[in-house]
């Protein structure tokens, strides 16, 4: 099978001029394919990101699964749950 016969696994574009074992036509297609596989297709909004300390605190409190740190609804829910637990403990 020649390079001209091979197509990108993500967009079905040509992989001509790429390595013999290339599966994607570009880095963008490779990344987008991976994001589609893991279920994160849309871009992450900057206001949803949490810093490492907050993520660690949410994970340690068992409020947030590390794989859910980019899901805005789950981050808000985990933060609210942690805040309620903190308030109940120290209020």
Q: What is the pLDDT of residues 2-44, one digit of tens each?
A: 545 789 999 999 998 899 999 999 998 998 888 777 765 455 5
64: CB partners within 8 A, 6+ apart: 55, 58, 74, 75, 78
pLDDT at 57 over 60: yes
Q: What is the mean pLDDT of the chain?
A: 79
The pLDDT score that the predictor gives to residue 7 is 92
The overall pTM is greater than 0.75: no
The pLDDT score that the predictor gives to residue 23 is 92
Please tell me which residue, 20 or 79, carries the higher pLDDT value.
20
């Amino acid at each position: 099978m020649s390079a001209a016969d091979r197509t990108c696994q993500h967009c079905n574009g040509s992989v001509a001029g790429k390595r013999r074992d290339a599966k994607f036509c570009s880095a963008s297609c490779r990344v987008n394919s991976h994001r589609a596989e893991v279920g994160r297709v849309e871009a992450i909004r900057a206001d949803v990101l949490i810093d490492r300390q907050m993520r660690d605190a949410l994970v340690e409190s068992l409020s947030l699964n590390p794989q859910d740190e980019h899901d805005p609804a789950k981050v808000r829910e985990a933060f609210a749950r942690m805040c309620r637990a903190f308030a109940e403990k120290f209020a």
